[in-house]
Chain A
């Protein structure tokens, strides 16, 4: 093998916080050959983003490289000053950032922002810059690049913004692109198109890619080699195929088992017949906006869910799934149609009757941090619904709360803590406990596991499964992640632009999709290649 394009040797990075320094990566070493795709895989806190930031010299202010070297074409750049690094940033190494919505300047046009990198690296001819910008925007697959160049970021969708950032990253044909979770904020089908684009550009220019991702499925599809990180240490490095086929380290094995997109494709057994817990009939929800046609967010959606089963609502952003769910839990009012929960028509309920009815149906939110009051303790959060529904005896409340917290796997020591002092998985357990303390019949889970790391996700899904069996709960599971849906649902509705394009048992929908849109969604599930290899 010739000299690698990039070689990271024994890299240790530490963050200073107050009078502490905490090392977040420990002697990480890997190399990238020209034109190769290497994936850094790990959960949050594994040091994958820190490693990527160190490579391009963009560590946060309190971060410091303690030991090790970063060699670009054999030259150690780890001790270079920011000014010196400016020369290679963009020209030899470029970055595709994680969050496209916050990575573009909202007050400048897209064209000006892409042109900036050309200007910084010495191009002065204005018409030449303009022509090159339009060429780049066209190259990354934006329709009508002349128009796009004059638009502002808020006029573009998330996927389009990510394409603009990719255009900036490839503008000077760098040898290495660092893609830091380039698609985790995007819908699955958009995610696939963006990854395809990066792949294509890589082949065209021979660019190497350092792909940072939490999704082993994405890494399996796109990378030549995978570096698995945990707690700042490399657990395993290897060729993608061999690592997936026979992972050596226990951590990689667990990661592989927990990744829904890579786990075995078994469907749930068909549920026993029973009564219907949720009946949604021709639900229509329109948003009025003055002076314009009302916007129909949900258009005649109908489905029924049998008691004790899980129904999934699948769709991308803007598909109307959140609106549907908000109507079902009684936070929104449908324009037309009926919703019956356990025999009661919820759209007719108001005021005190609606408040009383909330004991029957409970919602778990996507973001476990913003849905818990930061000033309450864990105990207080779970206790509150009991107070709301008139349980006066504090000893009875305490006994119920403690029993449930025990059941959802929160140790006693955590009960006096506030949400800030909990991990994401623990917070979501608190949210589940709060929803279950009233013994509801129906639990609505709005992307309840999407924000969690795969291993934590797997634990929460297991907990939900056990609780469903113990208590005969009916779940309405909203998700954009088809791999998770495949794993835990009995029936599924696929929404697209407010319409239900497909409904039925999970097995039917996944194995025999009727609509093109469903097929596209299923194809976009990452991890295809690993199954082809297996």
Chain B
């Protein structure tokens, strides 16, 4: 309790600061959230400037050094070809992050477009779009992703698109419900009342007011997308070896799980940390509304 500050503050004025400014501000920071931002910042730096973090090559191995346990020289150990695992994780960040970005972007743009069209027009168009969305939702996500990849071919970008398409339905549903809610509000009616045309009102009032929670949802999807892309990589549907994609790292390490535990554990922990951080940040964005 900060009762000393409270009493002092109130004795002088009805508006009192309970404690000195800096201390109070520090206390308000949530440590979990700060940690989440730090994790994401580091991973983004991994993706942008991998050379800064390591001097080893991500693909060229040193055969003598194979399957070394974590040590001062190789902080996360090496794999069967003698490649430094930490280096591979650092260089893999760019694949996982761009994949997740592309996936979320596809879901956000396509899904929101469907949702806004459905929510703002209504009638047969809305019914048509939303039934299509229902069909998308009824197919198990992994099955849908695998089918799309088989249609498009293997690769990082194709895997990302596949992940994105599975989230189209969720984005469409959310944005439609938001648009419908905003459309019924009085200020939208008032905008029509002051002579706004359909498109002008949609652009000026409906879109900005309905997209807030859609963007919060996009941040949440980001964590999910990293996980889904790693899943596809693990199953061998993503980037081909020797790309150091995180899911692929786990899959390759599986063969040595009995002798070299670090090959699966380290990239696994990285994936978990990044997904948790993304979820924590999206939660804070959503709560701030």
Contact A358 B209 (CB under 8 A): no
Are B209 and A434 within 8 A (Cβ)?
no
- A-contact 0/1 string along B181-221, CB 8 Å cutoff: 00001110111111111001000110011000000000000
Q: Please indicate the chain A residues that have their CB under 8 angstroms from the CB of B18 in the complex.
A: 16, 19-21
Q: Which of the segments B8-16, B144-152, B169-177, B228-236 contacts the partner chain?
A: B8-16
**B19, CB-defined interface residue at 8 Å:** yes
A2: interface (CB < 8 Å): no
Hey, which chain B residues are within 8 Å of A362, CB to CB?
A: 193-194
Q: Which residues of B contact A273 (CB under 8 A)?
A: none
Q: What chain B residues lie within 8 Å of A98 (beta carbons)?
A: none
Tell me the interface secondary structure of chain B in the complex: helix
In the complex, identify which listed stretch (A74-82, A89-97, A383-391, A479-487) lies at the interface while the others stay far away: A383-391
Q: Mark A397-415, 1 if CB is under 8 A from B, else 0.
A: 0000000000000000000
Interface residues in B, total, Cβ within 8 A: 30
Q: Which single member of A22, A331, A358, A372 contacts B14 (CB below 8 Å)?
A: A22
- Given A14-B10, A20-B16, A388 and B193 touching (CB < 8 A)? no
Q: Which of A329, A373, A388 contacts B187 (CB 8 A)?
A: A373
Contacts of A471 in B (CB 8 A): none
Asked if residues B195 and A375 are in contact (CB atoms below 8 Å), the reply is: no
B197 CB to nearest chain A CB (Å): 7
A438 and B209 within 8 A (CB): no
User: Closest chain B residue to A444 by CB distance?
Assistant: B193
A367 adjacent to B28 (CB under 8 Å): no
Q: Which residue of A lies closest to B182 (CB)?
A: A373
What is the bound-complex CA distance between A112 and B17, given in angstroms?
A: 46
Q: Do A384 and B14 touch (CB < 8 A)?
A: no
Q: Mark A29-64, 1 if CB is under 8 A from B, else 0.
A: 000000000000000000000000000000000000
Contact of A388 among B6, B9, B24, B194 (CB under 8 A): B194
Closest to A364 in B: B190
Contact for B24 among A19, A329, A358, A435, CB less than 8 A: A19
Tell me which residues across on chain B come within 8 A of A371, comparing CB atoms: 186-187, 189-190
CA distance A44 to B21 in the complex (A): 31
Asked if A370 and B187 sit within 8 Å, CB to CB, the answer is yes
User: B-contacting residues of A (Cβ < 8 Å)?
Assistant: 14, 16, 18-23, 26, 66, 329, 331, 355-356, 358-359, 362-363, 365, 367, 370-375, 384-385, 387-389, 431, 434-435, 438
On whether the beta carbons of A19 and B14 are closer than 8 Å, the reply is: no
Chain B residues in contact with chain A, CB under 8 A? 6, 9-10, 14-19, 21, 24-25, 28, 185-187, 189-197, 200, 204-205, 208-209
Q: Which of A14, A23, A355, A375 contacts B208 (CB 8 A)?
A: A375
Measured in the bound complex, the distance between the Cα atoms of B200 and A363 in whole Å is: 19
Contact partners of A385 in chain B: CB under 8 A: 194-195
B209 and A329 within 8 A (CB): no
Tell me which residues across on chain B come within 8 A of A355, comparing CB atoms: 195, 197
* A358 in contact with B194 (CB, 8 Å): yes
Task: Given A19-B18, A19-B19, A389-B195, decide whether A331 and B10 contact each other with a Cβ distance below 8 A.
Answer: no
Q: Which 8 A-B pairs have the closest CB atoms?
A: A385-B194, A388-B195, A19-B24, A23-B14, A371-B186, A373-B187, A370-B186, A358-B195
Q: Which of B10, B186, B200 contacts A23 (CB 8 A)?
A: B10
In the complex with contacts A365-B186, A384-B204, A388-B195, A375-B14 CB distance below 8 A: no
CB of A25 to closest CB in B, whole Å: 10
Point out the residues of chain B lying under 8 angstroms from A20, CB to CB: 15-18
Chain B residues with CB below 8 A from A388, complex form: 194-197, 200
